[in-house]
Amino acid sequence: MADNSLQENRLSLARASLRQALARYSYLRQGKKNSNNTELEAALQTQLDILTSTSEKLDHNVIRIATFGLVSRGKSAVLNALLGQKILQTGPLNGVTQWPRSVRWTIPSIPTADGTEKIQVELIDTPGLDEVGGEVRGEMAKQVTRQADLILFVVAGDITRTEYQALCELQTAQKPLILVFNKIDLYPELDRKAIYESLQALGNSEQLAADAVTDKEEWDDLDDRQNNIPAPKSTAKPPAKIAKSLEIVMVAAEPAPVQVRVEWSDGSVTHEWESPPPQIDELKHTILTILNREGRSLLALNALVEARDAETNLAHQVLKLRQTEADDLIWQFAKYKALAVGLNPVAFLDIMGATVADLALIRSLSRLYCLPMTGYEAGKLWQTIFSSAGGVLLGELGSSFLLGFGKSAAAVAPQIGFSTFAGVAVTQASLAAYGTYAVGRAAQVYLERGCTWGPLGQDTVIQEILATIERNTIIDRLQQEFKIGN
């Protein structure tokens, strides 16, 4: 089990990171309309709501477990068995569950350094993936997956092509996933064992990521197969190794009624149908083990990843919202810098003044967007300027040295003539203005990309947590999936 104080520290870091992000964008909640673009305003509000709900989830220690699967696989029955009572509706007809629904699952308190801490668990039931329309299904699954900390994928036998593709898509969500083999009471022992071994082979194949987008034609006849799932032939590059965290658990959430013989005191014998108790202990034990060992770390990481995506989208929307103001700001700095550089006759002052103006522009853009210019961003900004746009900037600096002296000579030596001074000044001013434009555009790019770095930035905290993850845990196996954007 992970050290409790370490898990608490990870939660504290995640909470602090999200509070900082919310404070950064608090001005957007003050009701001031900054744009006539209602669609843009709505997009901003959506991302703010995601950031707020994620922060509240962290504050209340809420872990969400979502179920996915096709129609009639027993998703609702699995959750009812975990709850110990029939809360979610089940039945013989397809499509009993029409919309995602969450219920609270009471579990034992988790011991901490200060005693015990109550972790709240929400179980999310979802409609069958093959029932709702493709576009609606995709959006629904995306939203539920984003909110989930742990995923249960329920099957009821050999996996079908549709289930395989859905499992591929869910695996790319970078969330721990348990493959639940339900309705095992319907299979003889040998068949049950064969199906389990087939599912194990699927989990160990490490083909899920690549096969989610390629070679689908080779699986058209998969629905008719009842034994093993063959690996498709492909000459593509090796797929990403994202299936190692797949765990398989066998359950009978709602066993079929069995006929029992009843002998009465008067000697008569009758036969009645009786429902056996659910076989759910293995799944319950697996989930509770994960929650006790690394539940709070999973909660912290998933919240940070969700907040990182939301803040990245927020930064993008803020840049669009402030685009006109930013363009005016860059144009003003370009004009004033060009005027100052063109009229100034001293070469060294040209260079110093141009550099100060560019730094002031970066600072002004940072304030306009309310996005921090971190050390990470500053380094990448200057690296980009000197590499990709370096020719423009170096040309400006070189012209300052070469043409600046020419300007100085023209200013102190009347025989050179005003036309020479003016020609040199116009050339240098044009280079200075274009250099400011390049700096402004580069600053916009890195203000947007680097918003999740810096002290308590989501990417920074994610790296700190992953650097201390214990070996042989689900997070350890998923570690390569928590991609840190550059």
pLDDT tens-digit readout, 8-26: 899 999 999 999 999 888 8
In terms of Cα–Cα distance, which of 161, 157, 142 is closest to 68?
142
6-26: burial string, b at 16+ Cβ within 10 Å, e else: ebbbbbebbeebbebbbebbe
Report how far Cα 336 is from the mean position of its chain's Cα atoms. 42
Q: How high is the pLDDT of residue 329?
A: 94
- The radius of gyration computed from the CA coordinates of the chain, to the nearest angstrom, equals 31
Q: How high is the pLDDT of residue 174?
A: 80
Structure tokens at 85: 């009572």
Rounded Cα gap, residues 103 and 79, in angstroms: 9
Q: For residue 101, give every residue at least 6 positions away whose Cβ sits within 8 Å of its Cβ, in sequence order, or none.
A: 88, 124, 125
Q: What is the mean pLDDT of each run of 10 residues along the chain (486 residues)?
A: 77 94 80 62 86 92 93 92 87 61 84 65 88 66 89 93 87 88 94 90 56 44 45 40 67 91 86 90 94 91 92 90 91 86 68 78 88 68 51 45 49 50 68 82 84 87 90 79 48
Dihedrals φ, ψ of 439, to 5°?
Answer: -65, -45
Cβ–Cβ < 8 Å for 396, 431: yes
Cβ–Cβ < 8 Å for 242, 209: yes
Q: How high is the pLDDT of residue 321?
A: 86
Q: How high is the pLDDT of residue 370?
A: 84
Q: How high is the pLDDT of residue 252?
A: 96
